[in-house]
Structure 1
Amino acid sequence: MGLPTTEEQVLQAALVDSHCHLDFDDFAEDRDAVLARARAAGVEHLLIAAVTPSHWARVQSLAAEHAGIWAAAGVHPNEDPATTPELDELLRALAAPRVAATGETGLDYFRSEGDLSWQRQRFALHIAAARQSGKPLIVHTRAAAADTLDLLRSEKARDVGGVIHCFTEDWDFACQAMDLGFYISLSGIVTFKKSTELQQVAKKIPADRLLIETDAPYLAPVPQRGRRNEPAYVAHVASFLAELRGEEPQALAAQTHANFFRCFPAAGMAA
């Protein structure tokens, strides 16, 4: 079955998957084929976000081996507290070639329970590392909206900016995040039938603050929902958003491409 007309138009412009986890074992057996499908779908660039220190070398290696791939070094909020790095350790990882961002990091009160002060401390550590390194933040937030914004303000994340990835919050949160210099990245979630509130937010995001992503292997967009997600499927996110926002698909692809390199300047310098 061919792609819908809007997706055929998207493929004429370079696409960027601004957040995926191609380092995960989900791709161990067919990673090269996944990358080939991404190229065939018009995805010229992608960023692999590490979630644990044990994967930092892996994401850096993938970025070094493949043109158009960049890496991020960080620790996901749901990773065990014992995985929290020292500041110097994180800064060394951020200084590696083709590392363009700090993350992913943030707060997640949905999956973690009890006293989560360690999450807030670790998030603050990442913000400090981002400010020192100049590598923008990739922020994960779930059921922690107020604390996420409070820490971004109190730790002066505005100095470096970044992106709220896999965005699912409301318009007020989006406005406050953008006021702090952050981009808003939409994933396959926006294509889900139940995501009506998120779709209303997606219509309002200024064009120069919008990014798109897969978060692969998670959250495959319609019409691939239920399958393992992969970077090629960012074309579905792009085509859905173009129709939702009443924009030309090629214009949306070009805009999000440009936004990616503004958000992550180190990727632009290494391109």
Structure 2
Amino acid sequence: MPTSSASDAPADASAPKNSAPSGGVQSLERAFDLLERMADAGGEVGLSELSVSSGLPLPTIHRLMRTLVACGYVRQQANRRYALGPRLIRLGESASRLLGTWARPYLARLVEETGETANMALLDGDEIVYVAQVPSKHSMRMFTEVGRRVLPHSTGVGKALLAHLPANEVRALLSRTGMPAATEKTITSPDAFLTALEEVRRSGYAVDDNEQEIGVRCLAVSVPDSPTAAAISISGPAGRVTEEMTEKTVPVLQQIAVELSEALASSGPGA
């Protein structure tokens, strides 16, 4: 993405033809901008749509897309529209692992301050994927394997992430995944789930109350302004993660989520 508003302006005639005004390479900035616009549009677009949204002329977009297709980062569909390509998957998987690595010090602080297992999860397509975890020091503790995928409707992190989506997008996701009951407390109605998301937006945090596993409660918040939809959580036995503990823990979760967000915005801790 362009690093300053100046990069949206026409390049100075004296600047090198392939250099962006910000000091970077303009063609690279434009290519990454197009990839992000494709992702925002659902992964598939036409050239005219990209031209309208980016303000770039069609010949420029066509040249950039031809290069991205040749590299495997974009593919052209039979209907002549363009879709994100398979080579992005490897980049995404590596980035997810790195995101988890960056998050671990913040999750470790959560464990120290709450005593319970801390997790980080992303919304990947229609599923939740756990990318980092720091376990509790208690002998009785929760454990979720990093890389595990679950449906969002029965998890605290899933609620925290879906609460930011429009209701019609949530309904569409639920219609694709279904709402199987993991326990007798799992929410299995789209209307009831949307009501639960309203509560998440009102309170600023999400709860999984025995919905994924009986005897386990989870508190979760989204990571604000994360480059990809992310949430952090703590989970533990319902006997320890009580209402009283919730009141003390939520502000800690929210604060650490903000600090993690700031670290990610600066390309990771120590950047």
TM-score (normalised: structure 1) = 0.29
Bigger Rg, structure 1 or 2: 2
